[in-house]
A and B are shown apart, each in its own frame.
Chain A
Amino acid sequence: MKTKFTMILTLFMALIVQTTFAQEKTVSGIVSDENGLPLIGTTVLIVGSSSGTTTDFDGRYAIKAKTGDVLSYSYVGYSTQNITVGASNTIDTSLQPDNTLDEVVVTAQGIKREKKSLGYAVTTLKSEKIEQKSEGDIARVLNGKIAGVNITSSNGLSGSSTNIIIRGYSSVTQSNQPLFIVDGVPFDSGTNGQSNFLDGSTESSRFLDLDPNSIASVSVLKGLSATVLYGSRGGNGVILITTKNSGTKNSVKKTEVSINQSLFLSNAILPKYQDNYGGGFHQGFGFFFSNWGPRFDRTDDDGIGNAAQYTGNDSSNGNAILSHPFNYIGDQTLVSGFDDVRNQPYEYKPYNGVEEFFRTGVVKSTSINIKGGSDKTSFNANYGRLEDEGITPGNKLSRNTFSIGGSSVLSNKFTVSGVFNFSRTKYISPPNAASFGSGTGFDGAGVFGDLLYTPRSVDLSNIPFQALDGRSLYYRSGNDIQNPYWTVNNAFTTQNTDRFFGSTNLSYALNDWSNITYRLGLDSYTELNSYGQNRGGVDGEVTGIFRTISARNTIWDHSVIWNANKDLSDDLNLQVIAGINSRRDTYEQDGIESTGQLVFGTLKHFNFTTSSSKNSFRNADDNDIAFNSESNQVGIYASIGLGYKDYLFLNLAARNDWYSTLETENNSILYPGASVSFIPTSFAESIKGDVLNYLKIRAGYGTSAKAPLAFNTRNVLGINARDLVTTDGTVVSSNSVSNTLGNPDLKPEKISEIEFGIDSRLFNRLTLNLSVYEKTTQNLITNRTLDNATGFNSTLVNIGEMQSKGLEIEYDLNIIKPVENGFSFNLSGNFNANETTVTELAEGTDNIILTSSVIGEAANYAVEGEAFGVLLGTTILRNDQGEKVVGNNGQYLTNNTPTIIGDPNPDWTTSLIPNISYKGFRLSAQLQYRHGGDIYSTTAASLIGRGVVDADDPICRECNYILPGVKQDGTPNDIAITATNVGFQTYSGGPNELSIFDGSTIRLQEVSLSYNFSNAVLSKTPFGSLSMSISGNNLWYKALNFHGDLNYDTNASSTGVGNGQGIDFITGPSARRYGFSIKATF
């Protein structure tokens, strides 16, 4: 029986084998890229035979093959894949990009091109470099990953705005922020600041509405030759985002669900405070806001024992005991009811009030993605949720995003596709008005200003922060500092946004090589902003203030695009894109501001005595809350691409735009561009070898223009309906000539850029791409500040020129090449150097200030012949010999003429990204280095100047100092001053040049360790894939030229989003984030 069975089996097996081997069948399927997009023209070959085919327009192929044949799928830019034919007649596969060689990239207007055919630099990041991060802000995720893209946060609050500058600045007064294109249509990435940055920049940048986990890829078009088709809007570079919802043009029959869950914690990175001395001046104690008082460990001579508040020593620990500061509060009504506190002994010792003030932040993020479809239809849906509780109490960001996209190939040559996104972002934060080292400078309250330099002897955590009637309460006798705890409990700003954005495409295939598409984009959001502070504060409106502003922004974008791709002959390929585009932007806002709160604690307009339509935080000539803006732009464009054989590519493009923001004579501008790419390794195969695997030489020229914002060409008359109320209650109205002079001759700025580059692959392991560029802006739209004697404060004029030069290098080196399940070590990175120089300014204009400035503080300027944004400020007065001049009081005299004291532009930046993998493990990191770039740091000046951080460990506080320099009569300075005077008067209160620091910083931006479960393990589970990772962000950094104890983070600027940089008016601490993330597909 056994034998018989075996025989039958053998026979059966033989039969099967025989049948299988003999039977030739038709194997068909779809080849797609890693995002599910069809790969047209993929070569499918049976290994070892001459038969083969290519995929069609939908990525489909059919080939006759036998079971056991090995099919080889190859496509330029992708790794060749071999699949053995099995029992199934369908083999769908997706190819993975071979990023070490050439790849297909998304270019302007969403056209996919082979990278080798491009005459300009494009950097593309795939989803795996973007998702599962601790930052919910896509721009901050990109930080350091792309050469030539400079990203800075406004401050340490979760949800605060982010500044993005690509390839340096190209305009003095207009925006330098890049254009965001999401799924082919414009996406507003603006930051709608409701007040000047000096009153705090808490508003978010609107790309915060994008969930990084829903993004399939990001392409950054840096040069103008790449962005010509986007016209003027693309002049600052374009960030092209393809969401997972739009990557569904082919059908994936199997429904795939993927879930991503992350949990991150964050901690504030705070200065290392000294613990030897407490509050006071000149070693004399006082409940001051400066920390130059007596030692903690001494009660004898000159020490705390001499203080009027001293009552004795604690018998248990020897600490000096003071009578509680509440005994000295001038207005005793503030502390009524706090008799118990008043009678408590107050220990003179270092308290950790600041450290205790910040909390551990928690970032939770969830993302669910579902994709599926049928033969001709596909869809993708995505839900994302982010909850980010910042390190600062009262700061929280939460975001829900829903999106769905799909496409369908209709029978009548039409393809319809669309994406629909809805996001809801809620953001709350305490106000963070700029501080110059003493309270806040202007109208608002600030949480960081009077916090970070709290004297060590102040028991911030335990002193009651609120009087019984609600007023802010603190330790100073005059109660003239708003308690930071009062601020976070009684003052806040919120921004709640509902946003819809999406696009619809209707495409008609005219024939097999061209189609015509109508594309509609709509991006509309409503922001509800509020700012409130209960009555009884010290900073800002004492009677209480509540302001609500609702704003709506809409972009309508229509395009008709004809797209053709035809082989004119065997050697010559022609690709043409021609389009018409119209774009309409509208922004409207309205709101109300109330003051005079009735019932403490309720921030609603009905609870206030006075309401106004003016924003009291803005200047009188610009304080109407209601504000409208609209602008229209119509453009036509065309691009012709010629490819000769596979080694020479030429691309010509031009766009003409018409603007509504300029008078008719000046409102049309044409910008041409051209680029060429030559591949020697394809032209002469002989030079290709194991040393030089691939070489591309490229050159591009591009132009762009920048139109001014709306309503700058005509004068208006200002109306002030309520200019004064007289004693008898008469409301006095007025009208007044506008302080801004309209300029009917205003023209667009003209930008041109020339770029050269090399892409290469060497030794089969090193990819090295290099670009150099020079970008020139002419007819700069300059907000020329006028001498008021002209009758106006400022006007926009077209004068001036600026130039950016730069070098970008991107590389990828496989030190140990990956083999399956083996050990691999890869090192990639980038290097970026950029220098933007103002080459010409308006005649008579010495400098142009770039941001709001504060008297006595440094600010960014455009100065002819200097780097863009140089910091001008006060300096130590120097005599003709260049010696520093000291006054009769031993302090430096100040030269008040604004003088260049620093260049905030980093000389160069670089990132190094090592990547080690072994089996399913992957360990990667991102190290960054910034060289140079000066920072005017009030944080550093006030922490050291107020004596809470030792500049020179330990500074001799009991010593006298003689500042180096000469007296006014030229003799060497011999006037001794105390350490307090050096710190408080010279360092923090002295000339601006003493607060300038070189911003060179080394940083461990990211580390992550992930594990991918193998298919073998997963085969018994419902999971298609499963990976886990632990990662950290901003784990360690060191600002090399700042004093180490400051732990100062150079990646922030108080000026927020705009053309300022390197200004720190106490931006607050940055956070270290670390956590855990898991991703699974079913």
Chain B
Amino acid sequence: MKHIFKTIIKTSILFLAILLFNGCETTDLEVKDSPNGVKPSAADTDLFLNAIQLRLADFITGLEGSGFKGMSEIGMEAVRMTHGFGPSYRELNDPGDFNQVWGTAYSSILADIRSMTPISIENGQFTHVAIAQIIESYVMMTLVDFFGDVPYTEAIYGTEGNFNPKADSGASIYEAVDLLLIDAISNLNKEEFSSPKLDLYFNGNENKWEKLANTLRLKLHLQQKLVNQSTSVSIINTLINGNILILDSADDFQFQYSANSSAPDSRHPYFEKNFGGSGPSSGFYFSNYYMNLLANNYSTADPRTRYYFYRQVSNFSDASVVTKECSTQNKPSYYSAEDVFCTVPNTNGFDGFWGRDHLDNDGIPPDDQYRTLFGAYPVGGPFDDDSDRNVSGSDAPDEGFLGAGISPIMLSSFTNFMLAEAALTLGTTGSAGTYLENGIRTSISKTTNFGLDLAVASFIPSPSYIDNYVAEVMTAYNMGSDNIKLKIIAEQYFIALWGNGIEAYNTYRRTGQPNDLQPAHDLSDPGVFVRSHWYPAAAADNNKNITQKSDVTTPIFWDKNPEGFVD
């Protein structure tokens, strides 16, 4: 027996010796750091700032190559700039549709900001800190605008084990965001030790960032005008007097995409989804209401029409039960005489605007070659020169600016429309009419300048055409009641907002204008308008402190408008 155990021990020692000599990697239990990433201590603040800036664009405009809808698209669908499926407002969106914006906002943008900021402060990189603060405030105010109460003070504490961050009230987040913007401005005015290596928005111009911060404060307080009017008035007046606002196109806050189609695809996501070469995305029918607003609201079409939309057909001769089922149906009785139904009428010489009615829930017919698609502005598509080409086929990726479009986030025209609304409804400094006209003209010139290289000379609106158009709008404005005035401001803001559904969705709920949006296609009563969206499934399903809403009728804290205010 003894002998045996000796042998066992000897053999075991031999075995261990073989292992130690030959295969110590076999018994090494310390392989714990992943070779598929780098250690967090290797983080670089400039690379963080790039991530934060890029993800902001994703948050707003979505991401190519996937079903990732950005905030803008979600907003545009509700207010009839683009078409949303229904048939009711409950079904306009699914809680799962918001997982990506939610994830981008928190686990990308905010998480990176929380990691970058302490290092940047230590490094004395105050511009990094300020840019992050401005972006954080934009993201948080947008989340409040769409979802209501959302986590903020307890957000990004996963590393501390808080997996159920409670939601803060929208009002308290607005308050915190306002302070954050003020702090950002003070950080911009500090002497930094090193500037960002790359700034995709303002190329490191701190003055422009300061203008943005002030303009966001303007937006924030205009938004709250129904909650605390006097504060809104005084702050807006202070901002106007300070005159550090985005009022010049050169200061526009926008994200510039490029024509680079792969590794990585850096084109405008809407371009990729519509001109990718495999047919336009079913998510991008344009609203008949919105196209009609541009084409037929006045006696001449809006000068931006050819830049915004590209018509693949010049009329509706191909509309049939197959390609456009509604063309065989009667206009529902609950549509008013002014409401467009199914097709956009040819009043001002634009025929063939092939879009969809609000909340039309039908399947996708074979109409790729008929649908009206994006034009040059802002996604970088083709300019509508009446050529009526099929731009939905496999050659589509070569259209227009090849997708080198922009995502308009906060433009000088937007500031003017906000100031117009403030002057009209709050009596803040300045003339509402002047702001309105400035807004229209700034937007028209931005659009036409943007599309200049693509536009065919004969279709470029002449200065007199533009003047006449503006004059007609201003006449209608000047002659109208306050309500009509507000409607015209909102309509013109909607037009200038093409590509940005965030401000349109906010404006509609804040002002109730334009009050003649198209009714739902399938249902006379599609339910209460989306006063706030479902909580993202990612939050409602995983965070015990967030309970899914029972419907989409709960207004945001700043929306004190009555039930049934908008539909």
Binding site for B on A (CB under 8 A): 280-282, 284, 286-288, 308, 330-331, 333-334, 443, 471, 476-480, 508, 510-511, 514, 516, 518, 536-539, 542-543, 556, 558, 560, 562, 580, 582-584, 595-596, 610-612, 614, 616, 620, 624, 626-628, 630-632, 634, 658-661, 663-664, 667, 710-711, 713-720, 722-727, 729-730, 732-739, 741, 784-793, 795, 843-847, 855-856, 887-889, 891, 893-894, 896-898, 984-985, 989
B264: which of A556, A626, A724 is its contact (CB, 8 Å)? A724
A284: which of B4, B258, B321 is its contact (CB, 8 Å)? B321
Instruction: Give the A-B contact count at a CB cut-off of 8 A.
Output: 342
Which segment of B106-114, B208-216, B287-295, B302-310 sits at the interface?
A: B106-114
In the bound complex, CA of A727 to CA of B258 (Å): 5
Say whether, besides A716-B39, A787-B546, A893-B90, A478 and B366 are in contact (CB < 8 Å): yes
The chain A residue with its CB closest to the CB of B321 is A284
- Known interface pairs A787-B165, A791-B111; 4 further A-B residue pairs with C-beta atoms within 8 A, sorted by A's residue number: A727-B259, A739-B103, A784-B542, A893-B90
**B252 lies within 8 A of chain A by Cβ:** no
**Chain B nearest CB, measured from A792 CB (Å):** 5
**B322 lies within 8 A of chain A by Cβ:** yes
Which segment of B350-358, B388-396, B417-425, B464-472 sits at the interface?
A: B388-396
Contact status B163-A844, CB under 8 Å = yes
Contact status B159-A791, CB under 8 Å = yes
Say whether, besides A518-B11, A788-B539, A791-B110, A889 and B523 are in contact (CB < 8 Å): yes
Chain B hits for A538, CB < 8 A = 278-279
Contact status A443-B51, CB under 8 Å = no
Contact status B36-A793, CB under 8 Å = no
Q: What size tier do the contact residues of chain B reach?
A: 35 or more
**Chain B nearest CB, measured from A284 CB (Å):** 5
A480: which of B31, B97, B279, B321 is its contact (CB, 8 Å)? B279
A739: which of B31, B108, B397 is its contact (CB, 8 Å)? B108
In the bound complex, CA of A896 to CA of B551 (Å): 11
Q: Fill in one digit per residue for B81-97: 1 if any A CB lies within 8 Å of its CB, else 0.
A: 00000011011001111
Chain A CB within 10 Å, residue with most, of B39, B94, B394, B525: B394
**B554 lies within 8 A of chain A by Cβ:** no
Contact status A333-B393, CB under 8 Å = yes
Chain A CB within 10 Å, residue with most, of B87, B366, B543: B366
**Chain A nearest CB, measured from B159 CB (Å):** 7
User: From DSSP, what is the main secondary structure of chain B's interface residues?
Assistant: loop
**B335 lies within 8 A of chain A by Cβ:** no
Chain A hits for B254, CB < 8 A = none
Q: Fill in one digit per residue for B261-279: 1 if any A CB lies within 8 Å of its CB, else 0.
A: 1111010000000001111
**Chain B nearest CB, measured from A722 CB (Å):** 6
In the bound complex, CA of A439 to CA of B336 (Å): 38
B20-72, CB < 8 A from A: 23, 25-40, 42-44, 47-48, 50-51, 54-55, 63, 65, 67
Binding site for A on B (CB under 8 A): 3-4, 7-8, 11-12, 15, 18-19, 23, 25-40, 42-44, 47-48, 50-51, 54-55, 63, 65, 67, 87-88, 90-91, 94-97, 99, 102-103, 105-108, 110-112, 114-115, 150-151, 154-159, 162-165, 198, 200, 256, 258-264, 266, 276-279, 320-323, 325, 361, 363, 365-370, 390, 392-394, 397, 404, 522-525, 534, 536-539, 541-544, 546, 548
**Chain B nearest CB, measured from A794 CB (Å):** 9
In the bound complex, CA of A660 to CA of B99 (Å): 34
**Chain B nearest CB, measured from A155 CB (Å):** 24
Say whether, besides A556-B23, A717-B39, A793 and B103 are in contact (CB < 8 Å): yes
**Chain A nearest CB, measured from B557 CB (Å):** 19
The chain B residue with its CB closest to the CB of A480 is B279
Contact status A789-B543, CB under 8 Å = yes
In the bound complex, CA of A846 to CA of B547 (Å): 11
The chain A residue with its CB closest to the CB of B404 is A727
Contact status B262-A610, CB under 8 Å = yes
In the bound complex, CA of A734 to CA of B47 (Å): 4
The chain B residue with its CB closest to the CB of A542 is B277
Say whether, besides A632-B31, A788-B538, A735 and B51 are in contact (CB < 8 Å): yes
Chain A hits for B397, CB < 8 A = 542-543
**Chain A nearest CB, measured from B376 CB (Å):** 15
In the bound complex, CA of A627 to CA of B34 (Å): 10
Chain B CB within 10 Å, residue with most, of A333, A631, A741, A787: A787
A786: which of B163, B522, B525 is its contact (CB, 8 Å)? B163
The chain B residue with its CB closest to the CB of A307 is B322
Can you name 30 A-B residue pairings with CB atoms under 8 Å?
Answer: A281-B321, A281-B322, A284-B322, A286-B322, A330-B392, A331-B369, A331-B392, A478-B279, A478-B367, A510-B7, A516-B8, A518-B15, A538-B278, A580-B12, A596-B261, A612-B262, A634-B27, A710-B31, A713-B32, A723-B50, A730-B198, A733-B50, A736-B51, A785-B542, A787-B542, A788-B106, A887-B88, A893-B91, A896-B94, A984-B363
The chain B residue with its CB closest to the CB of A787 is B543
Chain B hits for A627, CB < 8 A = 36
**Chain A nearest CB, measured from B165 CB (Å):** 5
B151: which of A718, A720, A787 is its contact (CB, 8 Å)? A787
Chain B hits for A539, CB < 8 A = 278
**Chain B nearest CB, measured from A126 CB (Å):** 34
Chain B hits for A784, CB < 8 A = 163, 542
**Chain B nearest CB, measured from A292 CB (Å):** 11
**Chain A nearest CB, measured from B37 CB (Å):** 3
Contact status B369-A478, CB under 8 Å = yes
Chain A hits for B322, CB < 8 A = 280-281, 284, 286-288
Closest 8 CB pairs of A and B: A330-B369, A716-B37, A478-B368, A790-B158, A542-B277, A787-B543, A711-B34, A734-B51
Chain B hits for A288, CB < 8 A = 322, 365-366
Contact status B394-A542, CB under 8 Å = yes
In the bound complex, CA of A769 to CA of B97 (Å): 52
Contact status A725-B88, CB under 8 Å = no
Contact status A887-B523, CB under 8 Å = yes
Say whether, besides A724-B264, A726-B256, A795-B158, A480 and B36 are in contact (CB < 8 Å): no
Contact status B264-A723, CB under 8 Å = yes
Say whether, besides A660-B32, A790-B156, A516 and B7 are in contact (CB < 8 Å): yes
Chain B hits for A284, CB < 8 A = 321-322
In the bound complex, CA of A543 to CA of B397 (Å): 10
In the bound complex, CA of A187 to CA of B327 (Å): 64
In the bound complex, CA of A785 to CA of B541 (Å): 9
The chain A residue with its CB closest to the CB of B94 is A896
**Chain A nearest CB, measured from B565 CB (Å):** 21
Chain A hits for B367, CB < 8 A = 478
In the bound complex, CA of A562 to CA of B15 (Å): 13
B155: which of A280, A514, A660, A790 is its contact (CB, 8 Å)? A790
Chain A hits for B365, CB < 8 A = 288
In the bound complex, CA of A711 to CA of B27 (Å): 17
In the bound complex, CA of A610 to CA of B40 (Å): 31
**Chain A nearest CB, measured from B391 CB (Å):** 10
Chain B hits for A611, CB < 8 A = 263
Chain B hits for A477, CB < 8 A = 323, 366, 368-369
**Chain B nearest CB, measured from A854 CB (Å):** 9
In the bound complex, CA of A781 to CA of B27 (Å): 24
Chain B hits for A846, CB < 8 A = 541-542
**Chain B nearest CB, measured from A475 CB (Å):** 10
Contact status B38-A719, CB under 8 Å = yes
In the bound complex, CA of A888 to CA of B88 (Å): 9
Chain A CB within 10 Å, residue with most, of B40, B54, B370: B40
Contact status B40-A737, CB under 8 Å = yes
Contact status B15-A580, CB under 8 Å = yes
Chain A hits for B103, CB < 8 A = 739, 788, 793
Contact status B366-A480, CB under 8 Å = yes
Contact status A790-B264, CB under 8 Å = no
**Chain B nearest CB, measured from A848 CB (Å):** 9
Chain A hits for B263, CB < 8 A = 595, 610-612, 614, 722, 725
Chain B hits for A542, CB < 8 A = 276-278, 394, 397
In the bound complex, CA of A920 to CA of B165 (Å): 74
